[in-house]
Amino acid sequence: MTECLPIWFKFSVALLHKVRLASPADAESLAAIDASVNTHPWNKRQFAVICSCGDLQKQCAMVVEEDGRIDGFLVFSQVLDEASIYSVGVNSAQQGKGLGRLLLQTALLRMREAGAVRCLLEVRQSNVVARRLYEGNGFNLDGIRKRYYPTEGGREDALLMSRHLKRNMQ
């Protein structure tokens, strides 16, 4: 039960990992992680475009890795002072160890360094873990997009969230 892991354990797992911008060679790993944790994953070709992006205005990815093994990714873009997060995924075996938080916090710092003052995202209403990740990192609810996401049984709402990126951000 990942929630019960002690804080020092999560901290040491996160310390062994490093976060960097994705490169084209990472596309296959990211597609494999996405396919294993998301119900509507992007394919390898889509990740190949994202991973070769040198332009923040298009979608870019950051990866979290340990000894060359990629354990998670975060896809985002930035237009002028507004950034958007499109997708986050951590390998099932590595979930609950602080890697999602490490990816998110590193990406937010990078966005702020690149001049963003606000970051937006959408999350499925039923995705309790992702909602807790975002709420715990300063994101607030701005609105609800009714029946936005497809589900097996029909459709579900999207929660629209955002946070300001302050100069002295943690």
Ligand X SMILES: CC(C)(COP(=O)(O)OP(=O)(O)OC[C@H]1O[C@@H](n2cnc3c(N)ncnc32)[C@H](O)[C@@H]1OP(=O)(O)O)[C@@H](O)C(=O)NCCC(=O)NCCS
**Position 90 contacts ligand X (CB under 6 A):** yes
The reply on whether position 98 binds ligand X by CB under 6 A is yes
User: Is residue 19 near ligand X by the rule CB under 6 A?
Assistant: no
Of residues 106-145, those binding ligand X (CB under 6 A): 123, 127-130, 132-133, 136
Helix (H, G, I), strand (E, B) or coil at 42: coil
95 binding ligand X? (CB under 6 A): yes
Comparing CA positions, the residue from 85, 89, 88, 87 lying closest to residue 77 is 85
3-state secondary structure of 165: coil
Adjacency order of strands within the sheet including 82-90: 18-21, 60-66, 69-79, 82-90, 118-124, 155-164, 140-150
Q: Judge whether 28 counts as a catalytic residue.
A: no
Site for ligand X in 40-79 (CB under 6 A): none
Q: Assess whether 148 carries a catalytic annotation.
A: no
Q: What does the block give as tokens for 72?
A: 């998670």
Q: Which is nearer to ligand X, 42 or 167 (CB)?
A: 42
Quick one: which of 38, 57, 126, 151 contacts ligand X (CB under 6 A)? Answer: 38
